[in-house]
Structure 1
Amino acid sequence: MSTPLNYRHLHYFWVVAKEGGMARAAQRLDMAVQTVSAQVRALEQSLGYSLFKPSGRGIVLTEAGVAAMALADQIFQLGEQVPAAVRDAATGQGLRLAVGISDGLPKLVVRHLLQPALEDARVRLLCHEDEFDRLLADLALHRLDAVLSDRPAPPNPNLRLYGHALGEAPMAWYAPAEVSRKCRQPFPACLGELPVLLPTHHAAVRARLDQWFERQGLRPHIAGEFEDSALLAAFGRSGMGAFPASRWSQEELLQDKRMRLLGETPEVVEHFHLISAERRIHHPLVLQLVEASKH
């Protein structure tokens, strides 16, 4: 039977690695250097591997130390969140929901996806937008409760991530009235006459749009490509060209009386996913999002 890990020893090791040496760690911990060194040696003995090695006048992490540090970082960063989490729960300040928003996800759709969780007045929503891979790393470190994306979690044996389909919506094409008046042909042939704005290949739906154009025999004049879907819609609304958006965005887009629906492409579908770091979801708001998608 293996010896249980001594988390006090692990904490001393973590501080030494963070501070870059025994002396600075001892100063931060307000302890004698010899005491800190002895605690780290005790951890090394219990694990059976050296975690530090000499380097010049100092020490650096061994390969085993790098692996231990990566996990220790997760453990103690989570530990630093405990006081705030307990205080919020005890004082009834609300339910915190930290969501990562993939930069390929249409922003006009985000509120639609999050709406089931926003119906609780106690919700304190924190949204972080970033690249998909960075968000998955933050999720694996439990810095986020969930990630919303236009693609499922990739298979990765080093990350325990679980995907949940939230739904799908067909795409449609929009343009300001002054742009749509230039069309001489019906939709979709008119897209061969107009400047077109598209998401970059950052977005999963871009490949489907390219394939759709090819099936239609169209070679559009691409006037702009955008990683951020909100920017794409903003430039489209300004008159730069026709642009695609999810049908879930239709009501909001057409609230602008200058906008026109050119046509729908039900064969081009955008998929939406929630990714969690746990197979059985315990966070009540994340569970609410997944359950709402089933109805």
Structure 2
Amino acid sequence: MPWRYDLRLLSYLVAIAEEGSVSGAARRLNLSQPTVSRQLRELEQRLGVDLFVRSGRGLTPTTAGAALLQRATRVLAEADALLNDVRLAAQGLTGRLTIGFTASAIHGALGRVLGRFRTELPDVDLRLVEVFDDVELTAGVVDGTFDVSVQRLPIHDTRLAGRAWIREPLSLFLPAAHPLAKRRDPAPVTVLGDLPLILWPREASPRAYDEVLALCTRAGVVPRIGAEARTVQTILALAAAGFGGAVMADSYRVLHREGVVARRLAGTSTVVYLVWRKDDANPLLARFWAIVNATALPGDPEDVEAPARL
């Protein structure tokens, strides 16, 4: 039958070797000398070897004892490290946090939050996944792929909680040569009927697609679709090539695409939401919320405090 020994016995062994006597180990461990002696004898009997010999300097490890001590020291150190890892993880100081985000979010408040998170919690495995589809982002939170999503148009689901975070203006990204690009004041939404529109494909991002069409409906204009594209860079490239204009979050203007001018759409905005699972017990979420709340700057777009209905 294979024998087993626990970490307690290994700690006795190390204490005897370091103190040079059973009595010294007993004092260090706050145990009686007979208890430590009995445990040592039982361990030697199980192994079938002597672990110590008596010398003029007290107890000295035998060859077998030295081999066991070398491994025991490593095992105890690993056990201490394991317990420390567990404590740090429980405190939200280590572990993994996965954030899915829409492309526009990274250019503003989210970028500052992530930078501060990395500085304050360098031992956390922070994983970032850019996703262009709001439906996919929400689904990723539901199935546990993401701990948090940062997105514009979350899907209703009773398993989710959400917080409206940042209200951001919408802008019309125009070919630089287009007449509408000559002015810098906010444009009325009715201008969406004056040029073809570049949209996300509806099958890829139905809510973003419908959001733009809803703007047209409210303005009483009939949209003309000039092109569709699945990435921001492609949309901007198509705008620069004269295919039309694209309605997107104003923060995309930081990309400074040559041949494209961004013009605010008067009276419009979009809200960026933070979405998470109600039952997610990851302690890193509390750390993330604390940094989110501490990172807002006076010059930020309006911060929306009310919880979202998901």
Q: Under a length normalisation based on structure 2, what TM-score does the superposition of the two structures give?
A: 0.51
Query: Which digits, 9 at most, give the CA deviation of each residue in 1:166-223, with x for residues without a partner?
Result: 122121112131234799xx95455434222123442534334323223333223211
Q: How large is the Cα RMSD of the aligned pairs?
A: 4.0
Structure 1 residue 99 displacement after superposition: 1.0
**Larger Rg computed on CA atoms:** 2
Change (3 A) 1:100 1:182: closer
Unaligned runs of 5+ in 2: 1-81, 296-302, 306-310
For residue 152 of structure 1, what is the amino acid of its counterpart? P
Structure 1 residue 239 displacement after superposition: 3.1
Change (3 A) 1:167 1:214: same
**1:248-287 matched pairs, under 5 angstroms:** 248-250=251-253, 252-253=254-255, 255-256=256-257, 258-266=259-267, 268-278=268-278, 282-283=283-284, 284-287=286-289
Assess if the C-alpha contact under 8 Å between 2:150 and 2:274 holds in 1.
yes
Equivalent position to 2:114, from 108, 117, 123: 117
Assess if the C-alpha contact under 8 Å between 1:281 and 1:287 holds in 2.
no
Structure 1 counterpart SS, 2:108: helix
**1:1-295 matched pairs, under 5 angstroms:** 86=85, 96-101=96-101, 105=102, 107-115=103-111, 116-119=113-116, 120-121=118-119, 122=122, 124-130=125-131, 132=134, 135-156=137-158, 160-180=159-179, 187-188=187-188, 190-201=191-202, 202-250=205-253, 252-253=254-255, 255-256=256-257, 258-266=259-267, 268-278=268-278, 282-283=283-284, 284-288=286-290, 290-291=292-293, 292=295
Structure 1 counterpart SS, 2:177: helix
Structure 1 counterpart SS, 2:104: helix
2: CA distance, partners of 1:276 / 1:129? 16
Change (3 A) 1:134 1:215: closer
Change (3 A) 1:223 1:113: same
Structure 1 counterpart SS, 2:150: strand
Assess if the C-alpha contact under 8 Å between 1:153 and 1:161 holds in 2.
no
Unaligned runs of 5+ in 1: 1-82
1: CA distance, partners of 2:139 / 2:199? 28
1: CA distance, partners of 2:178 / 2:127? 37
1: CA distance, partners of 2:291 / 2:241? 34
Query: Which digits, 9 at most, give the CA deviation of each residue in 1:85-109, with x for residues without a partner?
Result: 949x69xx977431123xxx3x133
Query: Which digits, 9 at most, give the CA deviation of each residue in 1:12-60, with x for residues without a partner?
Result: xxxxxxxxxxxxxxxxxxxxxxxxxxxxxxxxxxxxxxxxxxxxxxxxx
Structure 1 residue 227 displacement after superposition: 4.2
Assess if the C-alpha contact under 8 Å between 1:177 and 1:259 holds in 2.
yes
Change (3 A) 1:219 1:176: same
Change (3 A) 1:145 1:239: same
Structure 1 counterpart SS, 2:244: coil
For residue 277 of structure 2, what is the amino acid of its counterpart? A
Assess if the C-alpha contact under 8 Å between 1:196 and 1:243 holds in 2.
yes
Assess if the C-alpha contact under 8 Å between 1:162 and 1:278 holds in 2.
yes
1: CA distance, partners of 2:261 / 2:238? 15
Assess if the C-alpha contact under 8 Å between 1:170 and 1:269 holds in 2.
yes
